[in-house]
Amino acid sequence: MKRVIIKNASQLVTCSGYKAKKGKEMNHLGIIENGALVIEEGIIKWVGTTPNIPRQYRKVAQEIDASNKTVLPGFVDSHTHFLFGGYREEEYSWRLAGYDYMEIMKKGGGIVNTVSHTKEATKESLINVGMKRLNSMLSFGVTTVEGKSGYGLDYETEIKQLEIMKKLNKRHKIDVVSTFLGAHALPKQYKGKEDEYIDYMINEVLPYVVDRELAEFCDVFCEEGVFSIEQSERILVTAREQGLKLKIHADEIVNLGGAKLAAKLKTTSADHLLMASDEGIREMELNNVVATLLPGTAFSLKENYARARYMIDNNLAVALATDFNPGSCFTESIPLIIALATLYMNMSIEETITALTINGAAAIDRADQIGSIDINKKGDIVIHEFPSYKFIPYHIGVSTVETVIKDGKVVYDKEDKLC
């Protein structure tokens, strides 16, 4: 029997729960001082204080001493575009020169730029770079990540991205949750023919994705100049009818009504939401849609941040994610996201941790399996080098992660790197 005991934790931050936490609940971290937990065969079997570890668990166990350290659930990065070919470093200079997101797209930058590089990339090269990026995420304490397609915009490359993410999920220690985002941008050959492109994705690509079980979710970039409310609803409804769960890029650049559409369809999450209306936020809360906010993108684009404080005060469940991608947010840094959330989005430290753990898990419909230190959940644990969780944002922009345990096994150690 593979048994691991983590004991003597200065703080065991459980983030306990099996569903998204809303509003004031986000401040409840469930802290156990001098905490301990037991993992057997990759599953958490017991949680409590170190002196009360049951005798039957003390036999034949690997013990990890967490004295003067903080123990948390593994972070869940619930919105990324981590698998892509090529880079867009020139666009950073364009942004510094004052060009906005839509102007950069008109200059030949943006999503379509990455599409061409991803099409040209070999499967082997994408697997290698995917492994490298996942290794970096692991070092920041991420144990589950959502990854989107959307850098193909055609049958061959969309499927290539999803097949590679499926392989990465098997090869890498991090769990990879795949999302089909074929409606991410409009290819040049479909200019002015958005409805035809949606038909193509629905009729030619989606059935194969579903048949081969290449994705758990379907997403769409619902935005002015990209895909309308009607077009977004059509692909999402069809995807749900075929068994996929739903996400949506909503109200990032203008208030198009994406938040209201998310509420109408009861999507698992609605993401970005920089321009979401009060009404849209209220409707999301009533329909239990998780608001996944991406402060790294607003920071990178020099835009106003999503209204996290308003959302939480109005009882919405808020998650945080990196939106790691080659254009608008080229970072997988969890410490940066934590700094931005606490310093510029008026989120408390406790709310921020909740947003990256149990609420991140809820944003990918896995709050019953991961995101907290609870009995019968996966043994995905991160040990931080300081005695209080308050050091995590205090050490601004620097990772406090010392050890990462995935499915009950040590997979990262700060001194030894990957294990």
Rounded Cα–Cα distance for residues 138 and 403 (Å)? 10
Same domain, yes or no: 169 and 265: yes
Same domain, yes or no: 8 and 143: no
Give the Å distances, CA to CA, from 92 to 80, 88, 97, 104, 306: 19, 8, 9, 10, 21
> Is the distance from CB of 320 to CB of 292 less than 8 angstroms?
yes
The gap between the terminal CA atoms of the chain, to the nearest Å, is 20
Return the pLDDT at 102. 74
* Tally of structural domains, the chain: 2
Final residue belonging to a domain, choices 362, 383, 404: 362
Return the pLDDT at 35. 98
Same domain, yes or no: 62 and 87: no
Rounded Cα–Cα distance for residues 419 and 412 (Å)? 5
Rounded Cα–Cα distance for residues 274 and 279 (Å)? 14
367 domain-assigned: no
Same domain, yes or no: 210 and 233: yes
Same domain, yes or no: 93 and 62: no
Return the pLDDT at 111. 86
Return the pLDDT at 101. 72
Same domain, yes or no: 51 and 102: no
What the block records as the tokens of 135 is: 């290794």
Same domain, yes or no: 117 and 226: yes
Q: Which parts of the chain have pLDDT scores under 70?
A: 1, 419
pTM, 2 dp: 0.97
What the block records as the tokens of 225 is: 């100049």
Final residue belonging to a domain, choices 315, 339, 362: 362
Which residue segment(s) compose the domain that 288 sits in? 76-362
Rounded Cα–Cα distance for residues 255 and 232 (Å)? 15
Same domain, yes or no: 68 and 84: no
Return the pLDDT at 417. 72
Q: What is the CATH number of the domain that holds 44?
A: 2.30.40.10
pLDDT in tens, 345-377: 999 999 999 999 999 999 999 999 999 999 999
Q: What is the CATH number of the domain that holds 340?
A: 3.20.20.140
